[in-house]
Structure 1
């Protein structure tokens, strides 16, 4: 259960102000059809985070526990620093495609999430926790917790949302995770 809760919290906080959340805002503002956008986010996230989780488990199987602890701890600290940099996304001609809003959301979310901090957090969490389904469920739920309100609120709430404060909170959470891993706290989980 710890894997699920930590994964949910880390990705929820890490996703605030992220480019995929901005993508959710953009798609919602443009198409005003929340259901296909939310379903597209769900499918893209499940697929992307499953691949990231499998990579994380492979990494865990390839390195000694000590080296893995250092890699994970330093990864969380790097994600903490990266979280402080706000993401920006420009509308570069995303338009109606013949495959619909659902498919547009699936494809753009999957691509936007490649190499993103929440995907890398999923790799690190899957390397830390052996229960891959709970990690994927947690990271996917975290993504939905952060992105679904963005879909329904669209442009209305985004200018007033305290993205800077949340980025700092996310950085602190990732930094704490990194320090805990480096200190060997919870070592039985990796």
Structure 2
């Protein structure tokens, strides 16, 4: 259960101010069907994070040595530092709007997560906990906790969340996980 709770908390915090959260805001402004947006986010995240967690669990078989532990710990610390760098909003083309909110959300979220901080975090968490299922569930819940309120409450919510504070908290959590991995 530790894998579930840690994955949920870390990704929910790491997602604050992330480009996919900004994408949620944009999709909510473009489409009225909020449930379809949320379902697209859910499926895209499940697919992306399941593949990432599988990769992390597979890599864990190679990092059981002390060198592997140092690499894993260093990766957690690097992601922690990376979280301090705010994302920039990517321009989203409106040429796909005709495909509807579910398909547009699914495709854009899946693509936006490739190489994103939360995808890298999912790989690292799965390597640490060696649990594809619980890490996938946790990181997916974290994504939903961070993005669903944005879809439904939009800009009003984004104005009230101190993004810099959440970035620092998420950064500290990753750095602490790196240190704990070494210990």
Q: TM-score per shorter chain, which class?
A: over 0.9
Aligned mates of 2:90, 2:154 — CA distance in 1: 15
Residue matched to 1:150: 150
For the 8 Å contact 1:29–1:155, the answer to whether it is kept is no
Is structure 2 residue 13 aligned with structure 1 residue 4? Answer: no
Is structure 2 residue 107 aligned with structure 1 residue 101? Answer: no
Partner-residue secondary structure (3-state), 2:97: coil
User: How do residues 33-182 of structure 1 correspond to structure 2 at under 5 angstroms?
Assistant: 33-182=33-182
CA drift of 1:94 comes to: 3.1
Aligned mates of 1:92, 1:130 — CA distance in 2: 35
Aligned mates of 2:138, 2:94 — CA distance in 1: 29
CA drift of 1:69 comes to: 1.3
TM-score, normalising length: structure 2: 0.94
For the 8 Å contact 1:44–1:110, the answer to whether it is kept is yes
For the 8 Å contact 2:56–2:130, the answer to whether it is kept is no
CA drift of 1:96 comes to: 4.6
CA drift of 1:2 comes to: 0.8
**Aligned-residue RMSD, C-alpha:** 1.3
Stretches of structure 1 that go unaligned for 5 or more consecutive residues are: 184-190
TM-score, normalising length: structure 1: 0.91
Deviations 1:40-88 (A, max 9, x none): 0000000000110111011111233322211211111111111011111
For the 8 Å contact 2:73–2:178, the answer to whether it is kept is yes
Using a 3 Å threshold, how does the CA distance of structure 1 residues 92 and 136 change in structure 2: closer, same or farther? closer
CA drift of 1:178 comes to: 1.0
Partner-residue secondary structure (3-state), 1:98: helix
CA drift of 1:154 comes to: 1.2
Runs of 4+ displaced beyond 6 Å:
none
